[in-house]
Structure 1
Amino acid sequence: MTDSPTSARRRTLSALIHSSGFLAVCIMVTNVATYGFQIIAARILGPGQYGGVASMMSLLLVVGVVQLGMQATASRRVTDTPGEERAIERTVLRATYRAAIVVGVVMLAASPLVWRGLRLDSIYPALLVAVCAVPLTIMGGQAGVLQGERRWLGLAMVYLALGIPRVLVATAAMWVRPTEGAAMAGVALAQFAPAVVGWWVLRRRTSSAEEPGPIKPVVVEMLHGSFALLAFFALSNVDILIARNVLSDHVSGLYAGGLILTKAVLFLPQFVVIIAFPSMSAEASRRSALLKSLALVAGLGVCAIAGSWLLSWLAMIFIGGPDYAEIEGLLWVFAILGTVLSVLQLLVYSVLARRSRLSAYLLWIAVAAVIALGAIQTSADGLVWAVLSVDATLVAVLLSVTFWRLAQPSHRS
């Protein structure tokens, strides 16, 4: 007896939405939504108010290294202990909730500094940044559990809840009142959506009969992971700060326009890292997973570089139009920089997957090298080539160290 066409279609659809491909699409939708929020906020608020919102969103990226560190830790621990997923889940979530409280309290205490340092209209938006930090951190542990268990549909729902509500809620808040405070109120409210979705997906997974383990090892591993991720974040963003200090306002603005393409190429293969990380955490599959991921990330990068070379006029539309025409000839270099950073991001997560610690210090050495070389540059092309040379050297070193360590009996460095 054969299934009806309707049953066959339902099985096909179910397999599709539970696949890693569906997760990849959802992550791309979230990235587009995040970019869309920035565009909408810039248009509604204008330069004066949007500057404060942009600075607070950048601060949230820095705070988010705790979330990313917790996600990597949760995913690796779940992958590394097959058969004990639920006990590990309870331990990770306990650590996540405590970390979220600590991060929230720290940001609350720092809100006067954020208010003054970012030159906000009032302390109210700074307080909302502290509110955002709590569900953002909680989402990290939840996403890490789902990632480690390869529950792609649940993880896709969390990522969609991260991007789409922010656009809808924050845009509505800005239409009602076009201020930085209203924008951050919308962002803070929307930030609870992925944490709620994560709780709902995981609500039936824990049992009181399963005793959680100690949370100290989880917190220690999370701190090491956050240390490496913070270094990567610093390396991928320090050049714009250098540009603002060593180049003229006009030239630094051109450089910032080129970095729009760099960031687009960097985040394009983000789904590869998320899907591959559990396999990179398992000793039996980490080498093959890394090789396949490197090939895919490099392939996407080559396509982006070729596109920026052959269709530079099209890329200019997204970068800013005729006002940035002087940078058009360098777009392919910015695309190369984005490709190198995307490979570097994959290698950083490979380091986290095998709990390597020494390699993280190489990232901070590279940050220092970029600052030193960037400080003596006098043009946009000189700065981008200096940054690219340091990043490419770091990638070569990390590739060598990574594959050498993978060939050893013990993979921890």
Structure 2
Amino acid sequence: MNRSTRAAVSSGSIVAIAMMVMNVATYGFNLVAARLLVPAEFGALTALLSLILIANVVALALQASIARRISVHPGQTTEIVHTASRVALAVSLVVGLAVALSSPALTPAFSFDSLWAVVWCGAMLVPLTLAGAQLGVAQGTGRWGKLAALYIGNGFGRLLGGVAGVAIEPTATNAMLGLAIGAWLPVILGSGLLKATGEGDVHSRRPLVFETVASASTLLAYFAFSNVDALLARGGFSAHDSGLYASGLILTKSTMFLPQFVSVVFFPSLARDSSHRTRLRAAGLVALLGLAVVAGSALLPRLALILVGGDQYREVADDLWLFALSGTFLAIVYLLVFDALARRSPGVAVLLWIASAVVFAIAWFWSIGIVGLVVTMAATGAVAAALLLVWPLLRPGSARDGSVTGVVPGATDADRHVQRD
């Protein structure tokens, strides 16, 4: 094993453990909330967290954009961080304010008891977006220990803040208040990462904003695709079958997020490396981890059943390996979406929206049950993954920095040089 491989394994292990701790802490909050809140309040909290998940694509996009720029141009790290600190502050305030101002419309639409529930969602998105920028700096500069600390801080910030809010008053609104406060923990831990020490702003802010918006639209398309079957099951199945499908989705999501650390660790290399060897190695690692879960679910269905809810869901026990297979393909697609962001490959969002439409059309026009829907999802995910694997070969001229095509309006000479890179 050479030095670069050992370094990748070491950094991957650190980030993998940190993300596992983050997910366990987040699950711990959900478990406590489910026990302390009455079903109506827990349902409201689930809807609020779904709103956070959707709006958080901006933070993920900002992280990817900053990490890619630093990875491609490490010699301009100071200038990039200088720009990123300004953009992150502005974007976080815009996203948070937009969600908070939507409270008069969202509160009656989702039957929330108070406008403050959505307002606290907006407040939470401010530190989440700032933390996304900090994660991008840590990821782009390869500061894996710092990156791990931010992920752990994210998890424990949610656990401690959310539990404290629910303990004071068991309502969804109070839970969101606690989560909004706890979300500042990773920002505090990464306080030095966005310190703007440079005087020269070589990269103007507009190209970074344009890139972040484009990346956010792609990530939104991915999250729509990865959740379309959950919405179809909820609306098209009986209450009983919908519950069975939801239990299987626990394994799908677990399999999907298990190898998420691979995209985090490999992203800087994907941004720098023009060959396809790195992306194939990363995709192979994700596939290997996913197939291990598939094999385990097929060989030990009773154990898998315990992990998704127990005997009350035993009707779906023999089909759980299909849910793991669906999660495996979704995990590969997730990695390749970030590869596309690293390469600035256009058209990926359109492909993902088409994939969502295909699943929706099949489920809508044909009467398919639980197995039919999960097989449809897995097959569509497999096709999407295959297309994304060959996507760079079909578009070899994709830019690796700056805008996707052409020159962003208002870009400086330095930016135009970066766009031609």
Q: 1:260: how far off?
A: 0.3
CA deviation profile, 1:107-153 (whole Å, cap 9, x unmatched): 12111222112211111111100101111111111111111111111
Contact persistence 1:18–1:152 (CA under 8 A): no
- 2:373 maps to 1:383: yes
Q: Mark the CA change 1:59 to 1:381 in structure 2 (over 3 Å): closer, same or farther.
A: same
TM-score by length of 2: 0.90
Alignment correspondent of 1:324: 313
CA deviation profile, 1:186-222 (whole Å, cap 9, x unmatched): 111111111222223444xx32433353111001001
Alignment correspondent of 1:261: 251
2:323 to 334, 338, 349: 334
1:33 to 19, 25, 28: 25
Alignment correspondent of 1:4: none
Amino acid at match of 1:337: S
Q: Mark the CA change 1:293 to 1:350 in structure 2 (over 3 Å): closer, same or farther.
A: same
Distance 1:410 1:201 in 2: 27
Contact persistence 2:58–2:212 (CA under 8 A): yes
Write out aligned runs for 1:74-93 (5 A).
74-93=66-85
Distance 1:238 1:94 in 2: 35
- 2:286 maps to 1:297: yes
Contact persistence 1:17–1:153 (CA under 8 A): no
Alignment correspondent of 2:410: none
Matched residue SS, 2:112: coil
1:392 to 370, 382, 395: 382
- 2:138 maps to 1:146: yes
Amino acid at match of 2:349: A
Contact persistence 2:259–2:331 (CA under 8 A): yes
Distance 1:292 1:399 in 2: 12
2:125 to 133, 154, 157: 133
CA deviation profile, 1:333-374 (whole Å, cap 9, x unmatched): 000000000000011001000001122211111111111112
Amino acid at match of 1:193: L
Q: 1:409: how far off?
A: 8.6
Amino acid at match of 1:210: G
Amino acid at match of 2:309: G
Write out aligned runs for 1:203-242 (5 A).
203=195, 206-242=196-232
Distance 1:208 1:228 in 2: 31
Contact persistence 1:267–1:342 (CA under 8 A): yes
Q: 1:16: how far off?
A: 12
Matched residue SS, 2:255: helix
Q: Mark the CA change 1:314 to 1:388 in structure 2 (over 3 Å): closer, same or farther.
A: same
Alignment correspondent of 1:11: none
Structure 1's unaligned 5+ residue stretches are: 1-14
Matched residue SS, 1:242: helix
Q: 1:17: how far off?
A: 13
RMSD: 2.0
Q: 1:19: how far off?
A: 3.6
- 2:277 maps to 1:276: no
CA deviation profile, 1:253-279 (whole Å, cap 9, x unmatched): 111110000000000001101000000
1:99 to 86, 91, 102: 91
Contact persistence 1:22–1:156 (CA under 8 A): yes
Alignment correspondent of 1:50: 42
Alignment correspondent of 1:3: none
CA deviation profile, 1:262-299 (whole Å, cap 9, x unmatched): 00000000110100000000034x52321211111011
Alignment correspondent of 1:169: 161
Distance 2:10 2:59 in 1: 24
Which stretch of the first structure deviates more once superposed, 18-27 or 158-167? Answer: 18-27
Contact persistence 2:158–2:183 (CA under 8 A): yes
Alignment correspondent of 2:301: 312
Contact persistence 2:101–2:119 (CA under 8 A): no
Distance 2:308 2:224 in 1: 23
Structure 2's unaligned 5+ residue stretches are: 1-6, 406-421
Which stretch of the first structure deviates more once superposed, 122-131 or 390-399? Answer: 390-399
Amino acid at match of 1:93: S
Distance 2:255 2:193 in 1: 31
Distance 2:32 2:14 in 1: 27
Contact persistence 2:62–2:212 (CA under 8 A): yes
Percent identity between the aligned chains? 39
Contact persistence 1:23–1:155 (CA under 8 A): yes
Matched residue SS, 1:200: coil
- 2:336 maps to 1:344: no
Amino acid at match of 2:98: V
Q: 1:393: how far off?
A: 1.4
Distance 1:181 1:264 in 2: 27
